[in-house]
Amino acid sequence: MTIDFKQDILAPVASDFTTMDKFINEGITSKVALVMAVSKHVVEAGGKRMRPVMCLLAAKACGADDLDKHRKLAAIIEMLHTATLVHDDVVDESGLRRGRPTANATWNNQTAVLVGDFLISRAFDLLVDLNDMVLLKDFSTGTCEIAEGEVLQLQSQHQPDTTEQTYLNIIHGKTSRLFELATEGAAILSGTPQYREPLRKFAGHFGNAFQIIDDILDYTSDAETLGKNIGDDLMEGKPTLPLISALKNTTGEEHEIIRRSIATGGTADLERVVAIVQSSGALDYCSLRATEETDAALNALNTLPDSEYRQALINLANLALHRIQ
C-alpha cells in the first residue's frame, strides 16, 4: 500500500495544522529585523513538520476535542526543532539544509547561533503561557537532554571505536527526544496521563528508526533527495550506524579505510567508503534495525483506542520506513 503524507497522515488534523502554522509565524515576531529575517529563512525552509503533526495526531488519539493549546504546543515544538537545526548546522559547518543554504552560510555563525538562542527562548516564553508545570518540567528536562545528545555526538566525532549503544544514546538525544516531547506533551495537555508512556515509547522508537534511515540514505541517496550534501557525516568524522556496522563486518584494508575515514574525516575516500558500506552488509543490518525500531513503535500504539488518528500515526511510522524499501 502506498502511503500519501497529505491524505493518509495530515488530513485528519489538516485545519489544526494550518492554524498551527500561523502560530509559528506569529511566534517568531521580533523587534530586531535581523532576528525576523533569519528566523523566517529557517522556518520557511519547510520540511513536512512531522513533529507538530505527530503532536496534533497524538492529541486527537488521546480523545482531545479542543486543540487550542495543542496547536500552540505543536508550534512551540517546531520552533525548538528549527533552533536545534540552526545550531546543528553551525556545529557541523553545513552549507545546505532541506535543499537551501543554511542560516550560517547565508549570514554567519554568530548570527545563526544567536537566532537559534532566540527561537529556544521564544519557545519557552510561549510554553509558559500554556500554564502547565508538568509540561514545562518535561520540556525543560527534554531540552537539556537534546543538548546533551548533541555534545555526546561532538565527543564521538573521529572516534572509530564508538559502539552501537553510544550511537543509540546520541540519536535518542539529538533526534528521538523531541519526538517524545511532541507526543508526551499532547497526552499531558489532553489530561490523559495513561497514554503518556505508550506515546513516549512510540515516538522514541519512531525517532530512532527515522535517524537510522537518515543515516542509511547518506550512503544510498543524492543531495537533491536528501536535502544535504552526500558524505556530510563522513566529512565530519561522525561514526553513524552504517560505519559502525561496516567496521564490524570488514577486515584488512577495507577495515582500515573505514577506521581512517572516521578518525580523520574528509571525503578523500568517499567513493571507496560508500562501496565498502554497500558491499559489507552494513546497510542490510541498518535496515533490519530500522524495521525493529518501527515495529516497537507500532506495538506501543496498541494501548491507544482505535481511531483514524492512531491509524495516521501508524501510517507515519510506515511511511518513514518506506524511504529505504
Q: What is the mean pLDDT of the chain?
A: 91
DSSP 104: H
For residue 325, what pLDDT band results from cuts at 50, 70 and 90?
A: low
234, 202 contact by CB (below 8 A): no
Q: Which CATH number do you get for residue 251?
A: 1.10.600.10
Annotate 119-160 with DSSP letters as a single string.
Answer: HHHHHHHHHHHT--HHHHHHHHHHHHHHHHHHHHHHHHTT-T
The total of structural domains in the chain comes to 1
* Cβ-Cβ contacts under 8 Å for 309 (sequence gap 6 or more): 12, 13, 57, 58, 60, 61
**pTM of the shown model:** 0.93
Encode pLDDT of 201-246 as tens digits: 999 999 999 999 999 998 886 655 555 556 778 888 999 999 999 9
All cell numbers assigned to 242: 552504517
Encode pLDDT of 106-125 as tens digits: 888 898 899 899 999 999 99
Encode pLDDT of 261-282 as tens digits: 999 987 788 889 999 999 999 9
For residue 93, what pLDDT band results from cuts at 50, 70 and 90?
A: confident
Per DSSP, the three-state class of 281 is: coil
User: What is the mean pLDDT of the segment spanning 295-317?
Assistant: 97
Task: Find the distance separating the first CA and the last CA of the chain, reported in whole Å.
Answer: 12
For residue 27, what pLDDT band results from cuts at 50, 70 and 90?
A: confident
Which residue segment(s) compose the domain that 281 sits in?
5-322
Among 48-62, 71-85, 86-100, which is the least confidently predicted range? 86-100
166, pLDDT greater than 60:
yes
